[in-house]
Structure 1
Protein backbone atom coordinates (compact mmCIF):
# COMPACT_ATOMS: atom_id res chain seq x y z
CA UNK A 1 0.00 0.00 0.00
CA UNK A 2 1.55 3.31 -1.03
CA UNK A 3 2.17 5.91 1.62
CA UNK A 4 0.98 9.52 1.06
CA UNK A 5 4.56 10.51 0.26
CA UNK A 6 4.66 7.77 -2.39
CA UNK A 7 1.74 9.28 -4.36
CA UNK A 8 2.75 10.68 -7.71
CA UNK A 9 3.02 14.47 -7.85
CA UNK A 10 0.98 14.66 -11.07
CA UNK A 11 -2.60 13.37 -10.84
CA UNK A 12 -3.90 10.84 -13.32
CA UNK A 13 -5.56 12.87 -16.11
CA UNK A 14 -8.33 10.27 -16.51
CA UNK A 15 -9.40 10.49 -12.83
CA UNK A 16 -11.85 13.31 -12.03
CA UNK A 17 -10.49 15.83 -9.53
CA UNK A 18 -11.51 15.03 -5.95
CA UNK A 19 -12.88 18.53 -5.41
CA UNK A 20 -15.30 18.13 -8.34
CA UNK A 21 -16.53 14.78 -6.98
CA UNK A 22 -17.14 16.33 -3.56
CA UNK A 23 -19.12 19.19 -5.12
CA UNK A 24 -21.23 16.77 -7.15
CA UNK A 25 -21.93 14.66 -4.07
CA UNK A 26 -22.95 17.74 -2.06
CA UNK A 27 -25.23 18.95 -4.87
CA UNK A 28 -26.87 15.53 -5.17
CA UNK A 29 -27.44 15.41 -1.42
CA UNK A 30 -28.97 18.90 -1.39
CA UNK A 31 -31.25 18.02 -4.30
CA UNK A 32 -32.39 14.82 -2.58
CA UNK A 33 -33.11 16.70 0.65
CA UNK A 34 -35.11 19.35 -1.24
CA UNK A 35 -37.17 16.71 -3.04
CA UNK A 36 -37.91 14.81 0.17
CA UNK A 37 -38.79 17.99 2.05
CA UNK A 38 -41.17 19.03 -0.75
CA UNK A 39 -42.89 15.66 -0.48
CA UNK A 40 -43.23 15.89 3.27
CA UNK A 41 -40.60 13.26 4.08
CA UNK A 42 -37.56 13.59 6.26
CA UNK A 43 -39.20 14.89 9.40
CA UNK A 44 -40.28 18.37 10.28
CA UNK A 45 -38.31 21.05 8.40
CA UNK A 46 -36.44 23.44 10.68
CA UNK A 47 -37.91 26.42 8.79
CA UNK A 48 -41.44 25.49 9.91
CA UNK A 49 -41.96 27.66 12.97
CA UNK A 50 -44.50 27.20 15.75
CA UNK A 51 -46.44 30.15 14.29
CA UNK A 52 -46.53 28.44 10.87
CA UNK A 53 -47.83 25.23 12.42
CA UNK A 54 -50.44 27.15 14.44
CA UNK A 55 -51.66 28.92 11.28
CA UNK A 56 -51.82 25.57 9.47
CA UNK A 57 -54.01 24.07 12.21
CA UNK A 58 -56.16 27.24 12.35
CA UNK A 59 -56.74 27.06 8.58
CA UNK A 60 -57.55 23.34 8.80
CA UNK A 61 -60.07 24.03 11.60
CA UNK A 62 -61.60 26.70 9.34
CA UNK A 63 -62.13 24.06 6.61
CA UNK A 64 -63.46 21.56 9.18
CA UNK A 65 -65.99 24.16 10.36
CA UNK A 66 -67.09 24.91 6.82
CA UNK A 67 -67.41 21.23 5.84
CA UNK A 68 -68.32 19.57 9.15
CA UNK A 69 -70.60 17.07 7.36
CA UNK A 70 -67.71 15.97 5.11
CA UNK A 71 -65.17 15.17 7.85
CA UNK A 72 -64.31 11.50 8.27
CA UNK A 73 -64.81 10.82 11.99
CA UNK A 74 -62.42 8.41 13.70
CA UNK A 75 -59.43 6.60 12.26
CA UNK A 76 -59.23 6.44 8.48
CA UNK A 77 -59.36 3.06 6.70
CA UNK A 78 -56.07 1.42 5.67
CA UNK A 79 -56.60 2.18 1.98
CA UNK A 80 -57.54 5.72 1.02
CA UNK A 81 -58.96 6.67 -2.34
CA UNK A 82 -56.78 9.77 -2.73
CA UNK A 83 -54.02 11.62 -0.92
CA UNK A 84 -52.73 14.97 -2.12
CA UNK A 85 -50.84 18.00 -0.84
CA UNK A 86 -52.30 21.39 -1.77
CA UNK A 87 -50.71 24.81 -1.39
CA UNK A 88 -53.14 27.70 -0.94
CA UNK A 89 -51.81 31.23 -1.41
CA UNK A 90 -53.75 33.76 0.63
CA UNK A 91 -54.06 37.54 0.51
CA UNK A 92 -53.56 39.51 3.74
CA UNK A 93 -57.35 39.46 4.34
CA UNK A 94 -57.55 35.65 3.97
CA UNK A 95 -58.96 35.60 0.43
CA UNK A 96 -57.66 32.74 -1.73
CA UNK A 97 -55.28 34.07 -4.39
CA UNK A 98 -54.37 30.74 -5.93
CA UNK A 99 -54.13 27.01 -5.33
CA UNK A 100 -51.37 24.69 -6.51
CA UNK A 101 -50.97 20.95 -6.15
CA UNK A 102 -47.59 20.09 -4.70
CA UNK A 103 -48.44 16.40 -4.97
CA UNK A 104 -51.81 15.77 -6.55
CA UNK A 105 -53.82 12.56 -6.69
CA UNK A 106 -53.71 12.54 -10.49
CA UNK A 107 -55.47 9.14 -10.61
CA UNK A 108 -58.54 10.93 -9.18
CA UNK A 109 -58.93 14.22 -11.08
CA UNK A 110 -62.51 14.56 -9.81
CA UNK A 111 -61.17 14.70 -6.25
CA UNK A 112 -58.61 17.33 -7.22
CA UNK A 113 -61.37 19.50 -8.75
CA UNK A 114 -63.65 19.01 -5.75
CA UNK A 115 -60.95 19.95 -3.24
CA UNK A 116 -60.03 23.07 -5.23
CA UNK A 117 -63.71 24.07 -5.35
CA UNK A 118 -64.12 23.49 -1.62
CA UNK A 119 -61.02 25.56 -0.77
CA UNK A 120 -62.09 28.48 -2.95
CA UNK A 121 -65.64 28.38 -1.53
CA UNK A 122 -64.26 28.41 2.04
CA UNK A 123 -62.64 31.80 1.42
CA UNK A 124 -61.87 33.93 3.36
CA UNK A 125 -59.52 31.95 5.57
CA UNK A 126 -58.18 33.33 8.83
CA UNK A 127 -56.03 36.34 7.88
CA UNK A 128 -52.36 35.32 7.61
CA UNK A 129 -51.15 38.87 8.25
CA UNK A 130 -49.66 41.64 6.18
CA UNK A 131 -48.51 40.64 2.73
CA UNK A 132 -50.53 37.43 2.76
CA UNK A 133 -49.23 33.95 3.27
CA UNK A 134 -49.64 30.34 2.34
CA UNK A 135 -51.39 27.35 3.80
CA UNK A 136 -50.17 23.87 2.87
CA UNK A 137 -51.91 20.70 4.01
CA UNK A 138 -52.32 17.12 2.90
CA UNK A 139 -55.83 15.93 2.10
CA UNK A 140 -56.65 12.34 3.10
CA UNK A 141 -59.69 11.38 1.01
CA UNK A 142 -61.92 8.36 1.56
CA UNK A 143 -64.03 6.70 -1.17
CA UNK A 144 -67.15 8.00 0.61
CA UNK A 145 -66.15 11.57 -0.26
CA UNK A 146 -65.29 12.36 3.35
CA UNK A 147 -61.81 13.57 4.32
CA UNK A 148 -59.36 14.50 7.03
CA UNK A 149 -56.51 16.97 6.83
CA UNK A 150 -53.05 15.83 7.89
CA UNK A 151 -52.70 18.64 10.42
CA UNK A 152 -55.84 17.42 12.28
CA UNK A 153 -55.94 13.73 11.36
CA UNK A 154 -57.16 11.10 13.83
CA UNK A 155 -54.81 8.54 12.30
CA UNK A 156 -55.25 5.54 10.06
CA UNK A 157 -56.13 1.91 10.79
CA UNK A 158 -53.60 -0.80 9.94
CA UNK A 159 -54.45 -3.38 7.30
Structure 2
Protein backbone atom coordinates (compact mmCIF):
# COMPACT_ATOMS: atom_id res chain seq x y z
CA UNK A 1 0.00 0.00 0.00
CA UNK A 2 1.30 3.42 -0.95
CA UNK A 3 0.67 6.61 0.97
CA UNK A 4 0.27 9.94 -0.61
CA UNK A 5 3.42 12.07 -0.05
CA UNK A 6 1.55 14.83 1.74
CA UNK A 7 0.13 12.29 4.18
CA UNK A 8 3.63 11.23 5.17
CA UNK A 9 4.49 14.79 6.11
CA UNK A 10 1.17 15.57 7.77
CA UNK A 11 1.01 12.45 9.94
CA UNK A 12 3.89 13.38 12.33
CA UNK A 13 2.58 16.94 12.56
CA UNK A 14 -0.95 15.79 13.39
CA UNK A 15 0.38 13.39 16.02
CA UNK A 16 2.36 16.23 17.62
CA UNK A 17 -0.65 18.52 17.72
CA UNK A 18 -2.79 15.74 19.21
CA UNK A 19 -0.17 15.05 21.91
CA UNK A 20 0.09 18.77 22.71
CA UNK A 21 -3.69 19.12 23.04
CA UNK A 22 -3.93 16.00 25.19
CA UNK A 23 -1.36 17.33 27.65
CA UNK A 24 -3.21 20.66 28.03
CA UNK A 25 -6.71 19.33 28.57
CA UNK A 26 -8.23 18.61 31.95
CA UNK A 27 -9.12 15.05 32.90
CA UNK A 28 -12.65 13.94 32.10
CA UNK A 29 -15.16 14.64 34.86
CA UNK A 30 -15.76 11.84 37.33
CA UNK A 31 -19.16 10.22 37.19
CA UNK A 32 -21.53 11.52 39.89
CA UNK A 33 -21.28 9.65 43.17
CA UNK A 34 -24.23 8.57 45.22
CA UNK A 35 -24.82 10.88 48.17
CA UNK A 36 -23.37 9.57 51.41
CA UNK A 37 -26.10 8.25 53.71
CA UNK A 38 -27.05 10.59 56.51
CA UNK A 39 -25.63 9.56 59.87
CA UNK A 40 -28.08 7.67 62.03
CA UNK A 41 -29.55 9.70 64.88
CA UNK A 42 -27.95 9.10 68.25
CA UNK A 43 -29.70 6.44 70.27
CA UNK A 44 -31.38 7.69 73.45
CA UNK A 45 -29.64 6.94 76.69
CA UNK A 46 -30.42 3.50 78.00
CA UNK A 47 -32.72 3.35 80.99
CA UNK A 48 -32.54 0.83 83.73
CA UNK A 49 -35.84 -0.99 83.81
CA UNK A 50 -37.31 -3.60 86.11
CA UNK A 51 -37.63 -7.18 84.84
CA UNK A 52 -39.90 -7.52 81.83
CA UNK A 53 -42.31 -10.22 80.71
CA UNK A 54 -43.35 -10.26 77.04
CA UNK A 55 -47.03 -10.98 76.42
CA UNK A 56 -46.80 -10.55 72.65
CA UNK A 57 -44.07 -9.59 70.17
CA UNK A 58 -45.40 -6.02 70.00
CA UNK A 59 -46.09 -5.32 73.66
CA UNK A 60 -43.84 -5.62 76.68
CA UNK A 61 -45.36 -5.53 80.15
CA UNK A 62 -43.00 -4.70 82.98
CA UNK A 63 -43.53 -6.29 86.33
CA UNK A 64 -42.88 -4.90 89.78
CA UNK A 65 -41.57 -6.97 92.65
CA UNK A 66 -42.78 -4.38 95.18
CA UNK A 67 -44.23 -5.92 98.33
CA UNK A 68 -46.31 -2.91 99.40
CA UNK A 69 -47.92 0.22 97.92
CA UNK A 70 -45.08 2.48 99.11
CA UNK A 71 -42.49 0.41 97.23
CA UNK A 72 -44.76 0.18 94.18
CA UNK A 73 -45.12 3.98 94.16
CA UNK A 74 -41.44 4.29 93.21
CA UNK A 75 -41.82 1.84 90.31
CA UNK A 76 -44.91 3.72 89.09
CA UNK A 77 -43.16 7.11 89.37
CA UNK A 78 -40.18 5.83 87.36
CA UNK A 79 -42.59 4.49 84.77
CA UNK A 80 -44.37 7.86 84.48
CA UNK A 81 -41.02 9.65 84.19
CA UNK A 82 -39.92 7.28 81.41
CA UNK A 83 -43.14 7.91 79.47
CA UNK A 84 -42.95 11.71 79.96
CA UNK A 85 -39.22 12.48 79.96
CA UNK A 86 -39.65 15.74 78.02
CA UNK A 87 -42.19 17.00 80.58
CA UNK A 88 -40.19 16.38 83.75
CA UNK A 89 -38.85 19.47 85.53
CA UNK A 90 -35.07 19.09 85.71
CA UNK A 91 -33.38 20.10 88.96
CA UNK A 92 -34.87 21.74 92.02
CA UNK A 93 -38.32 23.21 91.55
CA UNK A 94 -38.94 26.91 92.19
CA UNK A 95 -40.46 27.97 95.51
CA UNK A 96 -43.89 28.88 94.13
CA UNK A 97 -45.60 26.13 92.18
CA UNK A 98 -48.70 26.57 90.05
CA UNK A 99 -50.40 23.48 91.49
CA UNK A 100 -49.89 20.62 93.92
CA UNK A 101 -52.16 17.60 93.81
CA UNK A 102 -52.34 14.32 95.69
CA UNK A 103 -53.72 11.49 93.58
CA UNK A 104 -54.54 7.91 94.51
CA UNK A 105 -54.23 5.41 91.63
CA UNK A 106 -55.57 1.84 91.54
CA UNK A 107 -53.61 -0.50 89.25
CA UNK A 108 -54.82 -4.02 88.48
CA UNK A 109 -52.73 -7.20 88.09
CA UNK A 110 -52.02 -6.43 84.42
CA UNK A 111 -50.84 -2.88 85.09
CA UNK A 112 -54.04 -1.18 83.88
CA UNK A 113 -55.42 1.87 85.70
CA UNK A 114 -58.77 0.94 87.25
CA UNK A 115 -59.55 4.03 89.33
CA UNK A 116 -58.29 7.54 90.10
CA UNK A 117 -59.23 9.31 93.32
CA UNK A 118 -58.11 12.81 94.28
CA UNK A 119 -57.10 13.18 97.91
CA UNK A 120 -56.15 16.81 97.32
CA UNK A 121 -57.15 18.21 93.93
CA UNK A 122 -55.74 21.57 92.73
CA UNK A 123 -59.25 22.95 92.19
CA UNK A 124 -57.93 26.40 91.25
CA UNK A 125 -56.39 24.75 88.16
CA UNK A 126 -58.95 22.38 86.59
CA UNK A 127 -56.77 22.11 83.48
CA UNK A 128 -54.00 20.62 85.64
CA UNK A 129 -56.41 18.07 87.15
CA UNK A 130 -57.43 17.01 83.62
CA UNK A 131 -53.82 16.88 82.41
CA UNK A 132 -52.62 14.78 85.34
CA UNK A 133 -55.49 12.31 84.89
CA UNK A 134 -54.75 12.12 81.16
CA UNK A 135 -51.03 11.58 81.83
CA UNK A 136 -51.68 8.81 84.37
CA UNK A 137 -54.07 6.97 82.05
CA UNK A 138 -51.83 7.39 78.98
CA UNK A 139 -48.88 5.81 80.81
CA UNK A 140 -50.71 2.46 81.14
CA UNK A 141 -49.85 -0.33 81.27
CA UNK A 142 -47.86 0.20 84.46
CA UNK A 143 -45.50 -2.39 85.90
CA UNK A 144 -47.76 -5.28 86.92
CA UNK A 145 -47.80 -5.60 90.74
CA UNK A 146 -46.73 -9.26 90.65
CA UNK A 147 -46.56 -9.81 94.44
CA UNK A 148 -49.72 -7.92 95.34
CA UNK A 149 -52.11 -8.82 92.52
CA UNK A 150 -53.37 -5.23 92.44
CA UNK A 151 -52.31 -2.06 94.21
CA UNK A 152 -53.61 1.34 95.27
CA UNK A 153 -50.80 3.86 95.61
CA UNK A 154 -50.69 7.59 96.30
CA UNK A 155 -48.30 10.21 94.92
CA UNK A 156 -48.07 13.98 95.05
CA UNK A 157 -47.80 15.90 91.78
CA UNK A 158 -45.73 19.10 91.87
CA UNK A 159 -46.82 21.15 88.86
CA UNK A 160 -45.03 24.16 87.36
CA UNK A 161 -46.96 26.73 85.29
CA UNK A 162 -44.93 25.64 82.22
CA UNK A 163 -46.66 22.26 82.32
CA UNK A 164 -43.57 20.42 83.53
CA UNK A 165 -43.79 18.47 86.76
CA UNK A 166 -42.12 16.24 89.32
CA UNK A 167 -43.58 13.54 91.48
CA UNK A 168 -42.89 13.77 95.20
CA UNK A 169 -41.50 10.22 95.12
CA UNK A 170 -38.67 11.28 92.75
CA UNK A 171 -38.48 15.01 93.41
CA UNK A 172 -35.16 16.82 93.34
CA UNK A 173 -36.45 19.21 95.97
CA UNK A 174 -37.59 22.78 95.92
CA UNK A 175 -35.70 26.08 96.27
Give yes or no for contact 2:69–2:152 (8 Å, CA) kept in 1: no
Preserved CA contact (<8 Å) 2:105 2:115: yes
Q: Which residue of 1 aligns with 2:42?
A: none
User: In terms of Rg, which structure is larger?
Assistant: 2
> When the two structures are superposed, what TM-score results if normalisation uses the length of structure 1?
0.65
TM-score, normalised via structure 2 length: 0.60
Return the alpha-carbon distance in structure 1 between the equivalents of residues 142 and 67 of structure 2. 19
Asked if 1:53 is matched to 2:81, the reply is no
Pairwise CA distance, 1:51: 3.9
Where does the alignment leave 5 or more consecutive residues of structure 1 unmatched?
1-48
Corresponding residue to 1:134 among 124, 147, 152 = 152
C-alpha offsets along residues 60-87 of structure 1, whole Å, 9 cap, x if unaligned? 0000000000000000000000000001
Task: Provide structure 2 residue ranges, at least 5 long, that are not aligned to the other structure.
Answer: 1-65
The equivalences for 1:81-100 within 5 A come to 81-100=98-117
Aligned twin of 2:34: none
The structure that is strand-richer by fraction is 2
> Which residue in the other structure is 2:84 paired with?
67
1:78 corresponds in structure 2 to: 95
Which SS does the other structure have where 2:93 is aligned? coil
CA RMSD of aligned residues (A): 1.5
Q: How far off its partner does 1:146 sit?
A: 0.2
Q: CA 1:61/1:132 → structure 2, altered by over 3 Å: closer, same or farther? A: same
SS in 2 for 1:125: coil
Q: Does 1:145 find its partner at 2:163?
A: yes
